[in-house]
Amino acid sequence: MKVAFAGSEGFSIKVLDHLLLNITNLVSLQFVITLPQRVKGRGKKTKNTDVYEFCKAKKIPVVTMEKNQKLNQDLKIKLKQIDILLVASFGIILDKNFLDLPKLGCINLHPSLLPKWRGAAPIQRAIEAGNDWTGVSIMKMVEKLDSGPIWKQSKEKILKLDTTDILETRLVIKGSILLEEFFSEVKPETLFVSQNNYNATYAKKIEKKELNIDWTETATCIMHKINAFYPKPCAYSFLNGIRVKFGRSKVTSLNNNSYDLPGKVIVNLSQNEFVVNISCGQGYLGVMNLQKEGGKWLSAKAFSNGFKFFERLSFNKE
């Protein structure tokens, strides 16, 4: 079966890698579509997508396509010659003229149990919301965002300390198994079942204003937010005027008799594992790794050793 792939970053490059490794006996990858170069990072440098760089390294034919770009004739011909376009975290809503070109249409591997968490950040929003379960869905694409009929889904438990990168890796494995099953069975008459739009929720794109931690929230709420936004873009706060990014975190049980203001650093050496404990609106948060602005990621112990009178300090919003 002749297949093309469309994706840009993160989840999509892992799916593409698994596609090449695991189901080459079922599909022949013809080419890959990705987004054009973008200005990225604090240095404002123009960079290719991760998928583009991956394809160049693997010598896979790759073309770029801008949002709202009119299809050129060469790409139209290429799409008409394939059986299926597989899409994963592409970042563009494709119109009907595009979707109708492959012989069996366009299929999306989406990292959520649709109709829950349609949109740009389904893994992050599932962790942030404290959901117990998520999963992957194989969906036939329509013009409306993540609203097409579903072929099959596979559930995955969200573990207590899951961060986005850890959960994403497990979802790629689930998705790869599902894709192998799909490509071994797919026919023109393959049945897809409509989604229940009434149950739809949306995973909106993560905005910068969400990343600055509000320490008056509960420790559980802050833990979910930090773990959802790790390893990027990362939640942060300020310590002595220095921006600090937070890595993997958990709620800790501290027997503290005094009232601690939200954001206060609490040193508790009786714990088996050293974490940076921080007082929250309700409960205490234990952070396992942190990064000063411009620095490298450090363990909680190494980070705390970099400040005098660390236990007297507090994290703030600025």
Write the pLDDT tens digit of every residue in 53-82.
999 999 999 999 887 767 888 999 999 999
Taking CA atoms, 212 is separated from 77, 126, 215, 225, 251, in Å, by 47, 19, 9, 10, 18
Amino acid, single-letter form, for residue 188 = P
pLDDT at 271: 59
**How buried is 63 (Cβ within 10 angstroms: 0-12 exposed, 13-18 middle, 19+ buried)?**
middle
Omega before 111 cis (within 30°)?
no
Report pTM: 0.94
pLDDT at 310: 86
pLDDT at 70: 75
CATH code given to domain 2-203 = 3.40.50.170
Longest dimension (CA), the chain: 72
Any alpha helices (H) in the chain, and if so which ranges?
A: 11-22, 50-58, 73-80, 96-99, 122-128, 164-185, 219-228, 300-304
| pLDDT tens-digit map of 108-123 | 999 999 999 999 999 9
**Structural element, H or E, at residue 290:** strand 289-292
pLDDT at 307: 87
- CATH superfamily for 208-316 is Formyl transferase, C-terminal domain (3.10.25.10)
Q: Name residues of the chain where pLDDT drops below 70.
A: 40-43, 69, 255-258, 268-272
Is the separation of the CB atoms in 201 and 158 below 8 Å? no
Q: Where are the domains of the chain?
A: 2-203, 208-316
Is the separation of the CB atoms in 85 and 2 below 8 Å? no
Q: Which residues pair with 40 in a beta bridge?
A: 45
- Equal CATH topology for 2-203 and 208-316: no
